[in-house]
Structure 1
């Protein structure tokens, strides 16, 4: 009799199918499910994975719009005075520095603004509730610093840059306040800033750079007339009412050469400005703009003490010479 394999019965198939299903269920229950619910990290109660609190450092973004000057000057305020540049501009260094120029008075005849100088329709008396008229100053003895800076301002009688000729703007702003041009552009600057400008300017002269100013003090009205890259009205370091307090508080100028390439004087500022607490913070956007550095009050005080000491010694020598001549 021929041997043959009988086909598996339905009961056999059901038995093996159930056995396989049970095995898979066991794998899911005892292996896959615990793995799915587990974590590769220790639990919170172990306190081993908790992230420590640390300060997040973010990059400071300087707004390069009309108020870029605000942001840049704010950086200068927190600049360390013991840095590479600040080390050359400390009060101790200033006191040990011997000037290479004579401190004789540089009095120049005054130049009053004629009505014809203030061209356009912007002349006339200042009116309106938004105008802060500075207090009138009483007559003062001729000051060598103001006289020198005024002479420097007039070295370049035509005020002109890439935006065009704006010679008329300062006279118009001065006339609006009923002031002479000298009183407006020079005495509108802070006394300490004028001190640092004086000493820096004398050093420039000694190095053969006949410098001048495109712009000095600017009130809000004058700032509104300014063209090109500039701070918003009221926020200018040249004398903005909100930023500095207005007249008598300006601490920025636009510097140039009376003749020749102005970049020579700009490079000089980059190399030597720290000694006089003066910086050129925007060489790309506004290369002519220079302003007071963070430690300018201290430096101005040291420079003033040095100037006074030299002047007193010179006066004493003159008195002695006169006494011997008698």
Structure 2
């Protein structure tokens, strides 16, 4: 009996020792060894951890210069290349916004009659990856000289100047359009007004006249914006190049903008009166307000804007006793 018990104890001790050895070996093989040879830093192929010169921007309050959170645009323009806000990737959510050094500038400082004039504006500077660097001016835009200024451009320019200080929930951005116009070596009027598509200007003209007739002194907060100007925009916005205001990829750039931010002349009432009017009557002019919650000031061309513009142009020309221009 004692011999049997001793043998059983020896067997248990053997298997216990073997199990312990196997366990220790597995721990070394699958835990300690990978830890010993691994890097304490995440792998570079996973860009989630990389800190770039971009910062997340929270949704701005209603009435801000937000812009194009564009699931709504897909419904209005199903035949377009895609939603303006992109596919929801981090690049679309993160807005790169350089730090600028600018003297205080109001609209009255900008001389619309002199190409590139910015009054007392200081030079625009941006913090680059290697320190502060002056942004080189872009090549002068090709203004369509054959299309002489007319009553439409003059009227829209007057509507733009009705609100000389451009301000929203993100702050005062009066200086941004003049800075972009100077970079393109253009007058402010040529930049903000003639940067919009000719057909879109036609529809805006007729819509604006109807607003005026109803006693609503509307005004333009922001009209054409090139890619440089889009970088300056604040809030949740379309990625650079994808803005309907005139993004190079989305519309083709200068002369093709088909969106504006609209408000009411200061002291003439509440901007929501203009926005509600557009909700009721915008379809007559092929103009829609797709984001009343996120960006109530943003209006844009509807899918049938070219056809409506031709109809309105023919009507205007008929009243003027002239034939439509080519």
Within a 5 Å distance, the mapping from 1:68-87 to structure 2 comes to 69-78=69-78
Question: Runs in 1 of length 4+ with deviation above 3 angstroms?
Answer: 64-71, 109-120, 122-128, 139-142
Bigger-Rg structure (1/2): 1
2:37 equivalent in structure 1: none
Task: State the Cα RMSD in Å.
Answer: 2.9
2:234 equivalent in structure 1: 227
* Residues 270 and 172 of structure 1: CA distance in aligned 2, closer, same or farther (over 3 Å): same
Q: Does 1:297 align with 2:306?
A: yes
Alpha-carbon distance, 1:138 to partner:
2.8
Give the counterpart of 1:247 among 254, 257, 261: 254
The superposition leaves residues 267-307 of structure 1 with CA deviations (integer Å, 9 ceiling, x where unpaired) of 10001000000000000000000000111111001000111
* Residues 274 and 132 of structure 1: CA distance in aligned 2, closer, same or farther (over 3 Å): farther
Q: Which moved more, 1:112-121 or 1:184-193?
A: 112-121
Q: Does 1:160 align with 2:163?
A: no
SS in 2 for 1:115: coil
Q: Does 1:215 align with 2:222?
A: yes
* Residues 122 and 301 of structure 1: CA distance in aligned 2, closer, same or farther (over 3 Å): farther
1:300 & 1:224 partners in 2: Cα distance? 30
Within a 5 Å distance, the mapping from 1:185-224 to structure 2 comes to 185-224=192-231
Give the counterpart of 1:306 among 308, 311, 315: 315
1:256 & 1:231 partners in 2: Cα distance? 20
Within a 5 Å distance, the mapping from 1:69-148 to structure 2 comes to 69-78=69-78, 110-112=112-114, 114-119=117-122, 121-122=124-125, 127=136, 133-138=140-145, 141-148=148-155
1:37 equivalent in structure 2: none
SS in 1 for 2:251: coil
2:68 & 2:258 partners in 1: Cα distance? 16
Alpha carbons 1:126, 1:177 under 8 Å: kept: no
The superposition leaves residues 74-108 of structure 1 with CA deviations (integer Å, 9 ceiling, x where unpaired) of 210249xxxxxxxxxxxxxxxxxxxxxxxxxxxxx
1:183 equivalent in structure 2: 190
SS in 1 for 2:76: helix
SS in 2 for 1:256: strand
1:186 & 1:244 partners in 2: Cα distance? 15
* Residues 139 and 190 of structure 1: CA distance in aligned 2, closer, same or farther (over 3 Å): closer
Q: TM-score, normalised by structure 1?
A: 0.62
Alpha-carbon distance, 1:67 to partner:
8.8
Q: TM-score, normalised by structure 2?
A: 0.62
Alpha-carbon distance, 1:243 to partner:
0.4
Q: Does 1:264 align with 2:303?
A: no
Within a 5 Å distance, the mapping from 1:13-24 to structure 2 comes to none
1:117 & 1:183 partners in 2: Cα distance? 19
1:122 & 1:273 partners in 2: Cα distance? 40
The superposition leaves residues 201-224 of structure 1 with CA deviations (integer Å, 9 ceiling, x where unpaired) of 000000010110110000000000
* Residues 136 and 304 of structure 1: CA distance in aligned 2, closer, same or farther (over 3 Å): closer
In structure 2, runs of 5+ residues without a counterpart are 1-58, 61-65, 80-110, 127-132
2:69 & 2:281 partners in 1: Cα distance? 21
Alpha-carbon distance, 1:230 to partner:
1.2
Alpha carbons 1:69, 1:236 under 8 Å: kept: no
Alpha carbons 1:257, 1:265 under 8 Å: kept: yes
Q: Which moved more, 1:134-143 or 1:205-214?
A: 134-143
Alpha carbons 1:117, 1:168 under 8 Å: kept: no
